[in-house]
């Protein structure tokens, strides 16, 4: 009986094993019969014909590398016989614009904020400007969670937003402003009802500068810093208040006074058009670009058709596939902005003595991904087929509706942090190896690329796209993901939320030097 292999494009000279192949196993696809020359794991690639040394390796109809030795039909294609050389790419701009069809408007049950924005969750946040105030921020959140939250059922929790940076950088430079954008994006996030900023006092990332630069304000009905001691401050510095214990008590007192106001919310119908959804893939495998990512792409197109916003990032994981994205750009300017970011990453890698093709990771390779170009072609499938509307710098507020890209590293916590700072109220995260991820204040829906992992990690995976390998259509799974986005935005808990994951995944990206 022929084993199961999958050819993704008529131009491909390889197929993907959907089940493990033993040496000598006969496999057939598109009328091509091959015999596995060796053991080939599921998700990995088998040659459909002889490939000469130096000839292109083709998957998704695109070159993903070049043979580093002669490859015979039936051979396992992987890092031992593939050179990760970037193919020559031809760039076009706006030549493949597919506008989504008109659809009936949908709603979700969300929170309408006083400024008109909408949230999917209702948190309070303690924002640490620098690592030196991180423990204090945690103590504040712990104190309130232990003593007060039970009386306020409409509040989802208190998030300590702590990180490892905030000093040893140039004041007012790009890293400083990027950190401030990130912190302010969370402090002002529509899923956050109220927040307080904690600094040490002597750090570069001054809390008062953050407050002033980004216009941070407290809940309506309270006031910001003032000479009047009865007002509720937005910013507290440990050195000024008198130490950690006094700061914890003072900050907890400020937030405690805000709990009744934060709790005074009710969910109401809000158009899906107001949703911004962050799309991420992590712990990818050879199935990611076949099952989960294309299905998320269907959901992304459905969201865009509603007038909503789908955000992808991880710029190094677009490398080698950027020519497909420029074809979807609404203008040459937008396409060139993406290419400028790609060039920045090439230069960034070079000046740090590495190359972008050091990606995929160890786990990616175990799962069947051989080169960054193969990984990228599968990763961008999350973005569907809608027009590319805009390119954003890391943690910039996303204002355009439709499909957009945010520049970020491929490291998942940093990447998602940027998109949430940009305003994403929901995260969809695909994984093949089994990434366990959550990102408060935005709920994370995890989508498995294969059934085996989905069943093994059933407490962590919300949806299984592995059923596509068993015959369910990509469109059907994409529709399920879209419906889960609406349900999650309306309050349905994700499995990462059920386990309390998301406090430690806040990870601002600092690309510059640390002094």
Written as one string, the DSSP assignment of 412-457 is: HHHHHHHHHHTT-SEEEEEESS-----BTTB-EEEEESSHHHHHHT
Partners of residue 198 on adjacent β-strands: 128, 236
CA distance 217 to 266: 22
pLDDT at 84 over 50: yes
CA distance 192 to 484: 22
Strands 192-199 and 235-237: parallel
Q: For the chain, list the domains and their CATH numbers.
A: 5-83 (2.30.130.110), 123-263 (3.40.50), 278-498 (no CATH)
SS3 state of residue 392: strand
Distances (CA, A) of 502 to 111, 143, 187, 437, 438: 20, 18, 15, 7, 4
Interval 84-101 mean pLDDT: 94
pLDDT at 467 over 90: yes
Of 384, 407, 381, give the one whose Cα is nearest residue 394.
407
Per-residue b or e along 287-297, where b marks 16 or more CB atoms closer than 10 Å to that residue's CB: bbbbbbbbbbb
CA distance 423 to 182: 10
CB 496 within 8 A of CB 504: no
Average pLDDT of the chain, as a whole number: 94
pLDDT digits (tens, 9 = 90+) for 62-83: 999 999 999 999 999 999 999 9
User: What's the pLDDT at 359?
Assistant: 75
pLDDT digits (tens, 9 = 90+) for 200-220: 999 999 999 999 999 888 765
Interval 160-185 mean pLDDT: 97
Indicate the DSSP class of residue 152. Answer: -
> Given pLDDT bands bounded at 50, 70 and 90, which one contains residue 397?
very high
User: What's the pLDDT at 233?
Assistant: 72
Alpha carbon dihedral 130, 136, 141, 147, in 10-degree steps, equals -170
pLDDT digits (tens, 9 = 90+) for 41-66: 999 999 999 999 999 999 999 999 99
Indicate the DSSP class of residue 410. Answer: S
Indicate the DSSP class of residue 96. Answer: S
pLDDT at 22 over 80: yes
Distances (CA, A) of 397 to 214, 465, 501: 11, 31, 25
Considering only 48-52, 220-224, 399-403, 410-414, which range has the smallest mean pLDDT?
Answer: 220-224
User: What's the pLDDT at 232?
Assistant: 63
User: What's the pLDDT at 1?
Assistant: 38
Q: Count CB neighbours of 18 within 10 A.
A: 22
User: What's the pLDDT at 221?
Assistant: 46
What global pTM score does this model have?
Answer: 0.95
Q: Count CB neighbours of 387 within 10 A.
A: 18
CA distance 110 to 24: 56
Strands 14-17 and 45-47: antiparallel
User: What's the pLDDT at 25?
Assistant: 94
User: What's the pLDDT at 55?
Assistant: 98
Considering only 142-146, 315-319, 373-377, 477-481, which range has the smallest mean pLDDT?
Answer: 142-146
Strands 107-112 and 268-271: antiparallel
User: What's the pLDDT at 147?
Assistant: 81
CA distance 34 to 71: 13
User: What's the pLDDT at 217?
Assistant: 80
pLDDT digits (tens, 9 = 90+) for 259-295: 999 999 999 999 999 999 999 999 999 999 999 999 9
pLDDT at 392 over 90: yes
pLDDT at 197 over 60: yes
pLDDT at 358 over 80: no
Strands 463-464 and 444-448: parallel
For the record, the structure tokens of 32 come out as: 């091509």
> Given pLDDT bands bounded at 50, 70 and 90, which one contains residue 423?
very high
pLDDT digits (tens, 9 = 90+) for 216-249: 887 654 444 433 444 567 899 999 999 999 999 9
CA distance 236 to 243: 11
Distances (CA, A) of 193 to 71, 121, 265: 59, 9, 9
């Amino acid at each position: 009986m022929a084993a199961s292999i999958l050819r993704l494009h008529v131009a491909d000279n390889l197929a993907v094993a959907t089940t493990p192949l033993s040496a000598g196993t006969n496999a057939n696809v598109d009328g091509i019969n091959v015999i596995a020359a060796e053991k080939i794991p599921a998700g990995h690639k088998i040659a459909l014909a002889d490939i000469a040394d130096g000839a292109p390796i083709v998957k998704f109809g695109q070159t993903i590398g070049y043979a580093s030795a002669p490859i015979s039909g039936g051979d396992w294609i992987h890092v031992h016989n593939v050179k990760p050389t970037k193919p020559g790419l031809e760039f076009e701009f706006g030549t493949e614009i597919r506008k989504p069809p008109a659809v009936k408007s949908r709603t979700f049950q969300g929170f309408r904020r006083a400024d008109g924005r909408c949230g999917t969750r209702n948190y309070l946040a303690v924002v640490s400007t620098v690592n030196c105030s991180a423990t204090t921020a945690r103590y504040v959140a712990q104190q309130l969670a232990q003593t007060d939250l039970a009386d306020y059922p409409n509040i989802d929790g208190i998030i300590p937003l702590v990180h490892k940076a905030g000093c040893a950088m140039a004041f007012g430079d790009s890293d400083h402003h990027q950190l401030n954008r990130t912190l302010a994006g969370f402090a002002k996030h529509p899923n956050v009802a109220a927040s307080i900023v904690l600094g040490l006092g002597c750090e570069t990332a001054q809390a008062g500068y953050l407050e002033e630069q980004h216009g941070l304000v407290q809940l309506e009905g309270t006031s910001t810093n003032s000479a009047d001691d009865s007002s509720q401050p937005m910013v507290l510095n440990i050195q000024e208040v008198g130490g950690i214990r006094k700061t914890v008590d003072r900050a907890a007192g400020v937030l405690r006074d805000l709990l009744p106001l934060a709790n005074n919310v009710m969910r109401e119908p809000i158009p899906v058009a107001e949703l911004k959804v962050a799309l991420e893939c992590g712990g990818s495998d050879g199935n990611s670009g076949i099952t989960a990512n294309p299905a998320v792409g269907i959901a992304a197109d459905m969201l865009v058709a509603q007038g909503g916003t789908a955000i992808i990032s991880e710029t190094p994981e677009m490398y080698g596939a950027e020519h497909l994205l420029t074809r979807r750009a609404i203008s040459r300017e937008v396409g060139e902005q993406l290419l400028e970011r790609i060039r920045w990453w090439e230069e960034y890698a070079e000046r740090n003595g590495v190359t972008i093709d050091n990606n995929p990771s160890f786990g990616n390779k175990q799962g069947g991904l051989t080169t960054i170009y193969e990984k990228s072609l599968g990763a961008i499938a999350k973005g569907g087929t809608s027009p590319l509307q805009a390119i954003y710098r890391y943690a910039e507020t996303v204002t355009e509706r439709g499909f957009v890209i945010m520049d970020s590293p491929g490291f998942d916590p940093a990447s998602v942090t940027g998109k949430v700072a940009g305003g994403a109220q929901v995260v969809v995260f695909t994984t093949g190896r089994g990434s366990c991820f959550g990102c408060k204040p935005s709920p994370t829906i995890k989508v498995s690329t294969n059934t085996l992992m989905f069943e093994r990690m059933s407490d962590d995976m919300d949806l299984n796209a592995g059923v596509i390998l068993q015959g369910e259509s990509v469109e059907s799974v994409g529709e399920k993901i879209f419906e889960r986005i609406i349900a999650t935005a309306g309050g349905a808990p994700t499995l990462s939320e059920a386990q309390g994951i998301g406090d430690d995944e806040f990870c601002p990206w600092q690309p510059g030097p640390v002094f």
